[in-house]
Amino acid sequence: MNFFNRSLILCFLSISLFSCMTAAESSTEKRVDALSSASWSDPELGEGFEEPPLPEIKTKGLTDQEINSMEVYRNNIRAIVNVTTINLYNSRFVGSYAQEGSGSGVIVSGLGYILTNKHVISDADYVVVTLYDGSNYQAKLIGSDAENDLAVIKFEPVGRGLQTIKAGSSKGLQVGQKVLALGNPFGLEGTLTTGIISGLNRPLQTEAGFLLKGMIQTDAAINPGNSGGALLNSRGELIGINTMIISPGGMGSVGIGFAIPVETALRIVPELIEAGRVNRGWIDIEALSLTPNLARQLKIPFIRYGVLITSVLAGGNAENAGLRGGTERRGVGLGLNSIAVGGDIITNINGKEIKNVLDYFSVLEVSRPGEEYDVVYLRDGRLESTSIILSERPQEFQF
């Protein structure tokens, strides 16, 4: 049984934002340790390999702000890579052809692990990373997470040293604070832009329709090709991963860009390294978003939003907790033949209001199998509650 129809999810989670994108193995323990917060504390420069020199900073006549920007750039640019993707296609009209895309990435381990956005490398047949010195390496996908639009790729450094960026914190950031963005906009490698924090804790949707919470808004110019690059504070610490922009008419940066907080990366990257995915909890139901129009058609009292359960998995955690699915099928003018109605309507999970499927997935994003979650639901005009031991998310919904 499919617990959520994938096409329904994408329909109910449609988005209106533009992303920035243009179009030797160690043991598991060693790989995970390499991406721990401790390993991000200091730059790693390997022995026996001399990096090309960076331009000398000449401070005469410069302001303290200018010197700070130059120092942050100089100390961190070697940890930024250009990510080039190649997709191969066949057409009956033009034959075989390749399409190239460009993005950015942040080296997070001397072992060759790179953090970027999932949408940068999504469905790519080949991924090539270009380092600061212009050298190119083929990379492979290690793991990705559509719900946070993050991915980890890896290349083999072949004995060379790699520089990483010290991880900072997005906690305690203030609107007006200076930030610096490093990346490769439009394929222009090694680009620095500066700005301020324009807003905090912005909820935004990814290309796949999932809700990103706690996003950092900045007016530092973020353009196509910047996706996966670094957002730094004035101390040169990584505070976010540049991810998307609002771009009316696809004009490029208009001063409204967004970065994923570094804490999100620190939380999920080790799991991507170890398992290739994030193992989240699940409630064994099939459901869809309740809208005001649907609530009126079904004559549902009191509420106009929630998640309507259309079916529950026999013997699953939802059935064991007493949740009920639909009892009859009815056409409701949603462009569907019919849906199962009469089931419970989830309105709250673990103290978080659930207004639609997007909220539902957002709450479960930080969950783990085996955790106990409290669920409030409407049944026969009355609000009731139950507790559910989360199961493991089915493979078909490992986005």
Active site residues: 119, 149, 227
Residue 336: partners with Cβ closer than 8 Å, 6 or more residues away: none
Write the DSSP string, 31-79: HHHHTSGGGGSS----TT-PPPPPPPP--TT--HHHHHHHHHHHHHGGG
Q: How far apart are CA 321 and CA 119, in angstroms?
A: 37
Q: Where does residue 76 fall: left (phi above 0), alpha (psi -120 to 50 degrees), or beta otherwise?
A: alpha
Look at the block and give the residue holding tokens 């997070």.
Answer: 108
Cα 351 from chain centre: 24
Q: How far apart are CA 308 and CA 99, in angstroms?
A: 41
Instruction: Name the helix (H) or strand (E) containing 342.
Output: none
Residue 242: partners with Cβ closer than 8 Å, 6 or more residues away: 20, 104, 181, 183, 222, 226, 227, 228, 229, 230, 231, 257, 258, 259
Q: Which of 117, 126, 114, 189 is nearest to 156 (CA)?
A: 114
Which phi and psi angles does 259 have, rounded to 5°? -130, 145
How many alpha carbons fall within 13 Å on the CB side of residue 286? 18
State the Cα angle at 133 between 166 and 255, rounded to 5°. 60
Q: Which two tokens stand for residue 72?
A: 């942050």
Write the DSSP string, 170-210: STT--TT-EEEEEE-GGG-SSEEEEEEEEEEEEEEE-TTSP
In DSSP terms, which residues pair with 179 in a beta bridge? Answer: 195, 233
Question: For residues 239 and 168, is the Cβ–Cβ distance under 8 A?
Answer: yes
Q: How far apart are CA 184 and CA 237, in angstroms?
A: 19
Question: For residues 206 and 146, is the Cβ–Cβ distance under 8 A?
Answer: yes
Exposure b/e, 43-52, CB count within 10 A at least 16 = b: bbeeeeeeee
